[in-house]
Amino acid sequence: MTLILTRSTIRELLADQVEEVEAAVARAHRDLTLGAAVLPAPPALRLPGSPDTFLAMAAASAPDGLAVVKLLADLPGNRDRGLPVQRSAVLATDTDTGACRALLDGAELTRVRTAAATAVATRALARADAATLGLVGTGPLARAHVRALLPGRPYQQVVLWGRTQPAAHDLAAWISADLGVPAKVLDGPRAVTEACDVLCTLTPSREPLVRGAWLTPGQHINAVGAPPRPDHRELDTEAMRRCRIVVDAYDTARTKSGEVLIPLAEGALREDDFRTELGDVLAGTAPGRTADTDLTLFDSVGVGLQDLAVTRLLTDLAERRGLGTHVDLGA
């Protein structure tokens, strides 16, 4: 039987699982470094004459007993239709029997696992005394990030900016009221960057919003929002050049991340500058932060292994709680 999980069911299942999701994503990255998981770079499928891209994000894990493919559709024209630019669904197969174990909507899963990866990277790379969290971008991804980053961490305030001022003020009010951390809206990306210890960029920008000249030694930056396209980025070349870079997966970053590919083409970065993966830092096989004055950066493109880790968690939770719909695809 195949378990089908809708977006609303996934949201219900993950509502109280912040720490568990972070732990699952961290373990998946360590498994990759230790050779217990497989993560190929996703192929990009493009129809002739179309800006649309379809990515098949695959991964397999021996510890989790799953092989997973998330089909991600990145459709810029959907913005004019009032539809999400990115849509996805996840198919999970049992590695022992080959049976289709689950089919899941990808939207909520993707937001939560992306925020969890940022939380894992921030815990590994940011200074222990980081007190101010900065957000550039105020959409659903920003809300997922503050849910993942604030609990159990010593942030004293959140500073943020978004292109839509009402949305920015709504987010600040929600953070202050619901999460108990003072939050305020600043007047631009530069003000946020210069005011924070940990910065998360969470926009689908094509052109850089954050400049390297604004960065301060000791900061940690999470570059998260740009879609997996080699011509999109939120940070300029100088920002990338100044930072110690950690990627979620080298093969994926090497083909999909404008953050590293544009500086690489310009000669400002070498491939060795972004070979360190998050799993390497977690497993202790490569350094992350080496001094309080380091500028560290997590380049988050998003990978199928993160989807797999959260899919495993979700299917186990759904079975225990009796949620979801079971369908016999072979009937």
Query: Quick one: 330 exposed, middle or buried, by C-beta within 10 A (0-12, 13-18, 19+)?
Result: exposed
On whether both 310 and 296 belong to a single domain, the answer is no
Is residue 102 predicted with pLDDT exceeding 90? yes
CA distance 79 to 202: 17
CATH of the domain at 64: 3.30.1780.10
pLDDT at position 166 is 95
On whether both 28 and 105 belong to a single domain, the answer is yes
Share of the chain above pLDDT 90, in %: 89
User: pLDDT of 56-72, one tens digit each?
Assistant: 999 999 999 999 999 99
pLDDT at position 227 is 84
On whether both 41 and 185 belong to a single domain, the answer is no
Q: Is 32 helix (H, G, I), strand (E, B) or coil?
A: helix
pLDDT at position 16 is 93
On whether both 258 and 137 belong to a single domain, the answer is yes
Residue 325 main-chain phi, psi, to 5 deg = -120, 135
CATH of the domain at 217: 3.40.50.720
pLDDT at position 326 is 97
Q: What integer is the mean pLDDT of 257-264? A: 94
User: pLDDT of 287-297, one tens digit each?
Assistant: 999 999 999 99
Q: What integer is the mean pLDDT of 125-148? A: 96
CA distances from 7 to 13, 118, 176, 235 (A): 10, 22, 27, 31
pLDDT at position 228 is 85
pLDDT band at residue 330 using 50, 70 and 90 as cut-offs: confident
Is residue 3 predicted with pLDDT exceeding 90? yes
CA distance 181 to 158: 7
**Domain residues for 10?**
2-109+305-327
> In the chain, how many domains are there?
2
CA distance 4 to 324: 6
On whether both 144 and 263 belong to a single domain, the answer is yes
pLDDT band at residue 153 using 50, 70 and 90 as cut-offs: confident
Q: What integer is the mean pLDDT of 299-323? A: 97
pLDDT at position 223 is 97
Of 60-69, 134-143, 144-153, 190-199, least confident by mean pLDDT is: 144-153
On whether both 53 and 151 belong to a single domain, the answer is no
Amino acid identity of residue 313, one-letter, is L
On whether both 297 and 148 belong to a single domain, the answer is yes
On whether both 103 and 130 belong to a single domain, the answer is no
Is residue 274 predicted with pLDDT exceeding 90? yes
On whether both 208 and 229 belong to a single domain, the answer is yes
CA distance 132 to 127: 11
On whether both 15 and 75 belong to a single domain, the answer is yes
User: pLDDT of 226-252, one tens digit each?
Assistant: 988 889 999 999 999 999 999 999 999
Average pLDDT, the chain: 95
On whether both 312 and 264 belong to a single domain, the answer is no
pLDDT band at residue 200 using 50, 70 and 90 as cut-offs: very high
DSSP-assigned beta bridge partners for residue 201 = 136, 223
CA atoms within 13 A on the CB side of 157: 10
On whether both 50 and 8 belong to a single domain, the answer is yes
Q: Are 256 and 42 in contact (CB under 8 A)?
A: yes
pLDDT band at residue 206 using 50, 70 and 90 as cut-offs: confident
CA distance 96 to 284: 31
